[in-house]
Amino acid sequence: MGCIEVICGSMFSGKTEELIRRLKRAQFAKQKIEIFKPTVDKRYSDLDVVSHDLHKIPCTPIKDPARMLNVAADVEVVGVDEAQFFDESLVQVCQTLANRGVRVIVAGLDTDYLGKPFGPIPGLMAIAEDVQKVHAICVRCGNLANHSHRLSRSKKLVVLGEKDVYEPLCRECFNKAMAEGPENA
């Protein structure tokens, strides 16, 4: 039975860790899996999906989500990491795979560094059978964090980085940081 599952939240919230956990459980159940990530994400590895805790699973890096439609007919589970970096066509690709009977598990940021909906994630959340929003811990106050606050002054939508470029913040700390500007972050 096909379905779409979305794992979303801020940076450092455990999205990739949860994706890997679900995919490894599918492997343990002897289901055939295929995993994809955008070619732009080279932070830890070119050919693996890697969590911040350095757990990993092999994947196929792709530029165009349509390539996912070429999975073998016996693939039962498709995983997608860093989905926010794909274009809106990812929504229809996931829908097509799910309609074929594939379980599609997608992980990605739901909002960008400005706190606005990011890429195809909102569209995927709307059509998914299951959405799990995971949270980091705010590095300033200790509350649940749901924002990825960028520490640099870059205005580019996509800036790859780790703790040197982003920090997880709760709503209150994020709003304060945005009002103060990056020079006071």
156-169 pLDDT, tens digit per residue, is: 887 766 667 899 99
Model pLDDT, residue 92? 98
Active-site residue list: 82
**Cβ proximity of 107 and 16 under 8 Å:** yes
Tens of pLDDT along 39-51? 987 766 677 776 6
- The CATH-assigned architecture of domain 3-134 is 3-Layer(aba) Sandwich (3.40)
Residue 81's Cβ-count burial label (10 Å; 0-12, 13-18, 19+) is: buried
pTM (2 d.p.): 0.91
38 or 155, which is more confident: 38
Region of residue 30 (left: phi > 0; alpha: psi -120 to 50; beta: else) = left
Quick one: pLDDT at residue 152?
83
pLDDT for residue 46: 72
CA R_g for the chain: 16
pLDDT tens, 88-134?
Answer: 999 999 999 999 999 999 999 999 999 999 999 999 999 999 999 99
Q: Which residue has the tokens 């909102």?
A: 122
Residue 5 phi, psi (nearest 5) = -120, 135
